[in-house]
């Protein structure tokens, strides 16, 4: 088997952990001349899709995406050394684990890089909940950055 990294997905949620994941992801992408796909997922506010509730309008969704995700991705890209790296930013809406797995599959990623911890306020002793679920569900090699 000749495993190579052509496409690499990094999960970005604005946390320090995901920032470190993006730095390591950028280094790996540079060495492998791989495409770096910086991906952030916004979870719709609770209740938007609640029982009997009308689904959000596309306009409301776009506004939420623009507000929440553009800033997270923009701040990250501003703080990263991406010189000489082919990169792309991807914004998704929904459940972070499900959407990240979909992007990994869609882009035929060879590696998924995430932080051990994320943006949750809850202090978790072990892995974050997204990291935990991803490690159990992904078919793609996963790098968890402390």
Ligand X SMILES: Nc1ncnc2c1ncn2[C@@H]1O[C@H](COP(=O)(O)OP(=O)(O)O)[C@@H](O)[C@H]1O
Interface with ligand X by CB under 6 A: which residues? Answer: 11-13, 15, 17-18, 21, 39-41, 96, 100, 114-115, 117-120, 124, 128-131
Name the β-bridge partners of 9. 37, 112
CB 72 to ligand X: min, Å: 8
Q: Which is nearer to ligand X, 41 or 104 (CB)?
A: 41
Site size with Mg ion, rule: CB under 5 A: 2
β-pairing verdict for 7-11 and 87-93: unpaired
- Does residue 118 bind Mg ion (CB under 5 A)? yes
Name which of ligand X, Mg ion, none residue 29 binds, using a CB cut-off of 5 to 8 Å depending on partner kind: none
Q: Which is nearer to ligand X, 85 or 100 (CB)?
A: 100
Alpha helices (runs of H) in 68-113, residue ranges in sequence order: 71-79, 96-106
Q: Closest CB to Mg ion belongs to which residue?
A: 118
CB 25 to Mg ion: min, Å: 18
Phi/psi-derived region of residue 96, left when phi > 0, alpha when psi is between -120 and 50, beta in every other case: alpha
- Does residue 120 bind Mg ion (CB under 5 A)? yes
3-state SS assignment for residue 136: helix
Q: Which is nearer to ligand X, 2 or 78 (CB)?
A: 78
How many other C-beta atoms are found inside a 10 Å radius of the C-beta of residue 16?
11
Q: Please, are residues 12 and 112 in contact by the beta-carbon 8 Å criterion?
A: no
């Amino acid at each position: 088997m000749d495993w190579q990294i052509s496409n690499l997905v990094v999960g970005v949620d604005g946390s320090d952990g995901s920032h470190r994941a993006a730095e390591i992801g950028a280094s790996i992408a540079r060495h492998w001349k791989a495409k770096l796909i910086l991906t952030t997922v916004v979870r719709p506010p609770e209740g938007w899709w609640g029982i009997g509730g009308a689904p959000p309008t596309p306009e409301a969704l776009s506004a939420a995406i623009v507000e929440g995700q553009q800033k997270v991705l923009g701040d990250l890209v501003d703080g990263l050394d991406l010189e000489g790296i082919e990169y792309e930013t991807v914004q998704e809406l929904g459940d972070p684990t499900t959407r990240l797995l979909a992007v990994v599959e869609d882009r035929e990623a060879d590696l998924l890089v995430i932080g051990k911890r994320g943006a949750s306020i809850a202090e978790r002793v072990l892995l974050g909940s997204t990291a935990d679920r991803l490690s159990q569900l992904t078919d793609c090699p996963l790098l968890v950055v402390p």
